[in-house]
Copies of this chain bind each other. A is one copy, B any other.
Amino acid sequence: MTIEALHGAVDLGGSHVGLALGVVDAAAGEFRLVARRDLEGGGYDGWQTVLDRIAEGMLELAREVGEPPAAIGVGCPGWVDLEQGETRFLPNLPGQWRDVPVARLLGERLEAPVHLLNDVRAATLGEFTFGAGRGTSTMALFALGTGIGGGVVVDGRLRLGPLGSAGELGHQIVDPGGPLCGCGARGCLEAVASGPAIAAAGVRLLRSGQAPALFDLSAGDAGRVTAETMGEAAAAGDEAVTKELERIAGLVGIAAANVVVTLHPELIVLGGGVAGLGDVLFDGVRRTIADRVRVFPTDGVRVEPAALGTDAGLAGVLAWAASRRGAGLGLHRDHG
């Protein structure tokens, strides 16, 4: 592994903030985190406090390792202005993060260039460079969690678009008359297949008496129904739960099928907590692609789980920071 330089990675989340120092060898598809630390979430204390914690944490890590990072990548849950290095709209993060000049403020504290990127685009870049997508050229990632994010790599380049917002695969319309999404539109994949949407389907089954195993697992408490307990209830024999999960997997499959006809990728990666549902999800997505894409053969399109888990985002922003320093990852940058 050719170590270019030490880089910093920040994964800014609502419930926790991940920090790391690491090295990447993008050509070899390898990265290593040499130091890491988890902080409290990017939450209710306001962004100033959170940025202070991040700067202090990163400086401490650099002291421990004995070397400052050459550049720092920051993954943010929402829309960020890549060129200005400012947050624009981070809907799931409390603390008034609108138009915060994170790159300038952190850059001054850390005395190194700071580069922002949407967190799921970062995870996509991480999986593409180091994880499930190693060796592929065109892939898409769906991050299935509380929300549904995504990212696409086309011909070896992370597609960003002018706002860094390309790849928002969770906001494809898969059910035109469907429920309202958090984004304000109707029928988005996120509105029907996110963790909360799966839990809602479970609550309905629970209350209508169709899911005895789910009832036992949740002690009849709707507040304890999650995508995870839905998976457990299906495994424990609740047929209605299995059917609901198959229906929801089919909706993810429609979104995946739309990406397949548009880009014909080699690989669709499913990550995030909901991907823990396993076979019922992956088989459903594969079946839907086979069933719904008839216009050309899709045998070559693999549907695989993410390989890096929660490290995908850290690895991705490391790669992002390295590429923005001109380390030659060949990433797309038409956002200028």
Contacts and interface: CB of A to CB of B under 8 A. Distances in A.
Interface stretch (A160-168, A197-205, A234-242, A269-277): A160-168
A162 to B, nearest CB: 6
Interface in A138-159: 138, 152, 154-155, 157, 159
Copies of this chain, complex-wide, total: 2
Interface string A166-177: 111101111110
A296 B263 CA distance: 21
Contact of A296 (B165, B258, B334): B165
A294 B186 CA distance: 10
A168 B295 contact: yes
A259 B257 contact: no
B163 A138 contact: no
A243 interface: no
A295 B155 contact: no
Nearest to A156: B334
A262 B173 contact: no
Nearest to A88: B296
A45 interface: no
Given A185-B293, A294-B185, A159 B334 contact: no
Interface in A244-279: 251, 254, 257-259, 261-266
A16 interface: no
Given A173-B292, A254-B173, A295-B183, A262 B137 contact: no
Interface of A: 79, 137-138, 152, 154-155, 157, 159-163, 165-169, 171-176, 181, 183-187, 251, 254, 257-259, 261-266, 291-297, 300, 332, 334
Question: Which 9 A-B pairs rank lowest in CB-CB distance, beginning with the nearest?
Answer: A161-B264, A165-B296, A166-B264, A184-B294, A183-B294, A168-B261, A171-B295, A172-B258, A183-B295
19 contacts: A155-B155, A160-B264, A161-B263, A161-B265, A165-B264, A166-B263, A167-B261, A168-B261, A171-B293, A171-B294, A171-B295, A172-B257, A172-B261, A173-B257, A175-B176, A183-B294, A185-B294, A187-B292, A258-B262
